[in-house]
Structure 1
Amino acid sequence: MTTAPYELRPLTIPATPDAPDAADFLAMVEVRNEIYREISANDDEAATASQLLPHFQENPDNDKRCWIVLVDGNVVGRVIVDLPAEEDSQVAYWMVELLERVQGRGIGGDVYSVIEATARSAGRSVLQSWAEHPEPPVGAEITRLPAPTGFGEIPLDGPARYYLRQGHTLEQVDRKSVLDLDGSLDTVRSLFADATGHAAGYRVEQWMLPTPEQYRESFAWAKSRMSTDAPAAGLEVDEEKWDVERLARHDARYIDAGQTVLVTAAVHEESGAVVAFTELCSGADPTATTQQMDTLVLREHRGHRLGQLIKCAGILRWREVAPDSTRIITWNAEENRPMLSINEAMGFVPAAYIGAWKKVLD
């Protein structure tokens, strides 16, 4: 396929959204939001430039390399390669996102060469990427790809064919779920009471970022376990090293972005350590959809309904923190049946499925 004329330009990361050199970044954010709106037909994942900028600025925990795609002088897409800073990491995370009106011209396949070249130059041999695969219209005949885990499947749509052309294989399917808060609170209260009765020896603690000093060390350890205790199927996941300094950098990015983040933790009474946690996050718009980010119960503390305890406690508190946000979205691996069961009991319903793709370079 002939590639239409386009320009791939390194993205300038400004110091602030109103800096003189911020125009490309602002255009990238606008196009990002439009692309996600085209995929999901809603603004659940929309973000402002102020919200995103701290996550693009230089930090010692990862090396994010970004480009914008221009056609006729207009920004129409973006390319990102994210290189974790863990020692001896072989992984490069990547994405190519284009507006619908410029898809099918060969641009996506052409810019993919930058992905592999960047990964190789950084000494990385494993490429991994995620894409949402919306359900086709009811009645449409379409081939489906099952996850090798045996849990979940995606339609063989345009994004799936793109990954296959680039030599990637489907490794895992995640479910994006949505909760209507207005219709679920009575159920959440009942589930919270039930979980409390099974969680002897644990207490719920909640805080807004930054993390309180007494929980920084154990919470940093719990955050590190996201890389080892969450289902990863055939993906390669570096074991992350978190300390109080890395946690402080993490907290600062969200605070600097003007985001509100509520952490709900289960603390082990005997040790005083955080052993389970969940995070709810919103931006500056009080009516915007809330995102549930990391949620984890450490393996050695499972079996006490701590996942149910913290998720319910978090939602009940969040209703006080952000009463005008009426939707929560979250993502879980399809094989993570314990967490999905909790979500389903609370009233979360499937909204879309995400394919996790991987390629090992020669």
Structure 2
Amino acid sequence: MTNGQLEISALDPLDHDTVDQWLELCQTVDDHDFANFETPSEAELLLGHMARPEEVRRLHWVGSVDGSVVSCAEARLYDADNTHLAGATVKVHPDHRRKGYARLLLGAIEDQARREERTTVVSWFLKPYEGSGVDGHAVGFAAAQGYGPTLETAVRRVDLLEVKEDRLDALYREALAKAEGYRIVSFPDPAPDEYAEGIAYLEGRMYTDMPLGDMDLQPAEITVEKVRARERQARRRGLLSLRTIAVHEETGTVAAMSQLETAPGDELIARQGDTIADPDHRGHRLGLLVKIANQRQLRSYRPRIRYVHTGNATVNDHMVAVNEAMGYRMLGMAECYQKELA
């Protein structure tokens, strides 16, 4: 499909010249807009495009002018749970902005969502914050396209080279004294069979327990089969997923968990995934214990990783306090925007 000079087409993974241009575009945009933030490596982008989908299909388009890729878009279509949702990401080369290209690409995602009977499109945007280098143009663009803010999050980062291990030791001992009857277990995914059901239960609670603001996110039924599917997808995308859990000794219940991921081709930054404690087992500092233990597991598997990035809803005072105690410091702000499709 074309509109004036811009030609929008599906990204063919076997069209190596276009893929090379797509990768270069993504790197240029990320360096320009998100210089201080974690951005995907080329290997992660490639494997994410090539990997067989399990729960989420990722569709990619490129926008070209005279054969040169100047913009791109990704649609995420959730096929297992929250099937009313589509996710959207649009990138435009800094030299080709304010020409309507982002609007056209976002329109392509919305058209795809309507064809698949999705009713809501969501997208995350970084917001201006002191020292972040983010100018906020994307937030203004989202509002102009009918997207409204739903959930504000704070992005924090810990520098593992500056972590005071004696301080972490003290925090860990203090928390362990309040966790009598629990044991801490760390492992890389896939999770041992005896813990898979408990992990599925806690992953399901992430859809109901974490602050959601006005996000149109519905409860999900997470099964062991879905946990295994997510693990397979992570491996296919080259991700190393590390998990630490707290197990209640008397019942064998998985009472808390925390997850970290590292991307292929990136030896600098890791991402914090889910951290959650079962409501029946809260008050024992389990969240702090599993996060510290998992951070140390990361150091053993990826000793050259320097930073871990995490995002928390600004209203999530408990997890913010845990992260601050572990040495995480503010990096910037992000917000989820959504639009209900007519």
Task: Name the TM-score, length of structure 1 as normaliser.
Answer: 0.85
1:33-44 aligned at under 5 Å gives the runs 33-42=27-36, 44=38
1:14-53 aligned at under 5 Å gives the runs 14=13, 20-42=14-36, 44-49=38-43, 52-53=46-47
Residue number among 262, 282, 287 corresponding to 1:302 in the alignment:
282
Does the alignment pair 1:234 with 2:214?
Answer: yes
SS of 1:242 mapped into structure 2: coil
Which whole-Å CA distance do the structure 2 matches of 1:104 and 1:26 have between them? 24
Residue 276 of structure 1 is matched in structure 2 by 256
Work out whether residues 39 and 132 of structure 1, in 8 Å CA contact, stay in contact via their aligned partners in 2. no
Task: Give the Å deviation of 1:52.
Answer: 4.7
Residue 7 of structure 1 is matched in structure 2 by 7
Work out whether residues 55 and 253 of structure 1, in 8 Å CA contact, stay in contact via their aligned partners in 2. no
Task: Give the Å deviation of 1:88.
Answer: 7.0
Residue number among 153, 166, 172 corresponding to 1:174 in the alignment:
153
Structure 1 residues 286 and 305: CA distance shift in structure 2, 3 A: same
Structure 1 residues 276 and 55: CA distance shift in structure 2, 3 A: farther
Residue number among 95, 102, 107 corresponding to 2:96 in the alignment:
102
Residue 120 of structure 2 is matched in structure 1 by 126
Residue 289 of structure 1 is matched in structure 2 by 269
Residue 111 of structure 1 is matched in structure 2 by 105
RMSD: 2.5
Residue number among 285, 292, 310 corresponding to 1:330 in the alignment:
310
Unaligned runs of 5+ in 1: 15-19, 141-154
1:52-71 aligned at under 5 Å gives the runs 52-54=46-48, 57-71=51-65
SS of 1:239 mapped into structure 2: coil
Deviation readout 1:111-130 (Å, 9 max, x if unpaired): 22222222221112212110
Which whole-Å CA distance do the structure 2 matches of 1:243 and 1:23 have between them? 41
Which whole-Å CA distance do the structure 1 matches of 2:212 and 2:177 have between them? 31
Letter in 2 for 1:315: Q
Residue number among 238, 252, 260 corresponding to 1:258 in the alignment:
238
Residue 314 of structure 1 is matched in structure 2 by 294
Residue number among 151, 154, 161 corresponding to 2:140 in the alignment:
161
Task: Give the Å deviation of 1:285.
Answer: 4.5
Residue 145 of structure 1 is matched in structure 2 by none
Work out whether residues 89 and 238 of structure 1, in 8 Å CA contact, stay in contact via their aligned partners in 2. no
Which whole-Å CA distance do the structure 2 matches of 1:58 and 1:206 have between them? 28
Task: Give the Å deviation of 1:89.
Answer: 3.1
Letter in 2 for 1:114: A
Which whole-Å CA distance do the structure 1 matches of 2:202 and 2:149 have between them? 28
Task: Give the Å deviation of 1:87.
Answer: 5.9
Deviation readout 1:179-218 (Å, 9 max, x if unpaired): 0112213322221111111112221111112111111122
Unaligned runs of 5+ in 2: none
* Runs of 4+ deviating beyond 6 Å: none
